[in-house]
């Protein structure tokens, strides 16, 4: 899913943002010819993500002779586990330290929270979806991290699937005109319904994928029963780790949670440098 050129561009901008015209501290303190090794170390239990960014960082900056990534995205690590080893110019390792940690900590945070959501719904027939509530510019990486944690990626953007939401229905003039107009594009089509009347109208129009938003678990169960298998059902709206099991047990096919990407706390990962 992740385009290597896109990763390189994200990394290039992140390094430029941090290093700017030069790392003045490192240049003042560290001889240009000094060599070192650095280790990325998990400081707490986590699900790892973002490892493919490391190669892009050191390729972009140069000055690295070896990069050994010891674990893969999706691996569950314990405190003290070494994630990767990098050897090269000490200046390069220091210049890239914060950018590398920012990516690993953020993306491992997403993967870890995603794994918690996936774990809570085990034993149901419901799958967890991520959303478009991502950090601007980092969507591909964050969705890859969410998948590494065990959830299913929803659409990537506005371009790869039709999702008719309440404002689209209002702008189109109703459920039926929205569905009938959208069918012409030939993409997968999902529609959000806000009332029983909209639900029945969508089903009458042949809708096969429904989004039910901001219902209680009891209401969701009643609506899923009314749908009776005539359409695939996704539930959304403020669903968190405490409530997702109740929603998953309603009989819905999917539950989406924006918190996976918009509220994931960064994980504690450190970088330790040793001279060679």
Residue 1 has pLDDT above 50, yes or no: no
CATH of 118-262 among 3.40.50.720, 3.60.20.10, 3.40.630.30, 3.20.20.70: 3.20.20.70
- pLDDT per residue as tens digits for the range 116-146: 999 999 999 999 999 999 999 999 999 999 9
Domain boundaries, the chain: 4-112+265-275, 118-262
**CA gyration radius, the chain:** 23
| Res 2: pLDDT | 56
How far is Cα 117 from Cα 127, in angstroms, rounded to an integer?
Answer: 10
pLDDT at 205 over 60: yes
Report whether pLDDT(215) > 60. Answer: yes
Task: Say if residues 66 and 87 touch (Cβ distance below 8 Å).
Answer: yes
d(C-alpha 48, C-alpha 149), whole Å: 8
233-261 residue pLDDT tens: 999 999 999 999 999 999 999 999 999 99
| d(C-alpha 250, C-alpha 225), whole Å | 9
Q: What is the pLDDT of residue 188?
A: 92
- Please list the active-site residues: 98, 133, 165, 192, 213
- Rounded to two decimals, the pTM is 0.95
Question: What pLDDT is stored for residue 4 in this prediction?
Answer: 78
**DSSP 8-class letter at 1:** -
Of residues 178 and 4, the one with the higher pLDDT is: 178
**How far is 155 from 130, CA to CA, in rounded Å?**
9
Burial 239-260 (b: 16+ CB within 10 A, else e): beeeebbebbbbbbbbbbbbbb
The pLDDT of 256-267, averaged and rounded, is 98
pLDDT single digits (tens) 5-26: 889 999 999 999 999 999 999 9
| pLDDT greater than 50 at residue 32 | yes
3-state helix, strand, coil in the chain (%, to 5): 45, 20, 35
Read off the pLDDT of residues 53-111 as tens digits, 9 standing for 90 and up.
999 999 999 999 999 999 999 999 999 999 999 999 999 999 999 999 999 999 999 99
Q: What length is written for the chain?
A: 276
Pick the CATH number of 4-112+265-275 from 3.90.1200.10, 3.90.1170.20, 3.40.50.10490, 3.40.50.740: 3.90.1170.20
Average pLDDT over residues 188-198: 96
């Amino acid at each position: 899913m992740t385009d290597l050129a896109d990763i390189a561009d994200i990394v290039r901008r992140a390094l430029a943002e941090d290093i700017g015209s030069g790392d003045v501290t490192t240049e003042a303190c560290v001889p240009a010819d000094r060599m070192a090794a650095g280790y990325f170390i998990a400081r707490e239990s986590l699900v790892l993500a973002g490892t493919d960014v490391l190669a892009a960082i050191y390729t972009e900056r140069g000055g690295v002779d070896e990069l050994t990534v010891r674990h893969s995205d999706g691996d569950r690590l314990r405190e003290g586990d070494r994630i990767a080893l990098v050897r090269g110019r000490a200046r390069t390792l220091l210049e890239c330290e914060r950018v590398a940690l920012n990516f690993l900590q953020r993306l491992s945070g997403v993967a870890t929270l995603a794994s918690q959501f996936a774990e809570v719904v085990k034993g149901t027939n419901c799958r967890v979806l991520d959303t478009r509530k991502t950090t601007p510019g980092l969507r591909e990486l964050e969705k890859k991290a969410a998948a590494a944690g065990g959830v299913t990626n929803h659409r990537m953007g506005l371009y790869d699937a039709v999702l008719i939401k309440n404002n689209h229905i209002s702008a189109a003039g109703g459920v039926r005109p929205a569905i009938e107009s959208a069918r012409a594009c030939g993409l997968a089509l999902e529609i959000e319904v806000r009332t029983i009347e909209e639900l029945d109208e969508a089903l009458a129009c042949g809708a096969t994928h429904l989004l039910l938003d901001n219902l209680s678990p009891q209401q969701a169960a009643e609506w899923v029963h009314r749908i009776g298998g005539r359409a695939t059902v996704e539930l959304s709206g403020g669903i968190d780790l405490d409530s997702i099991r109740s929603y998953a047990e309603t009989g819905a096919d999917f539950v989406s949670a924006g918190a996976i990407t918009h509220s994931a706390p960064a994980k504690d990962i450190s970088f330790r440098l040793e001279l060679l």
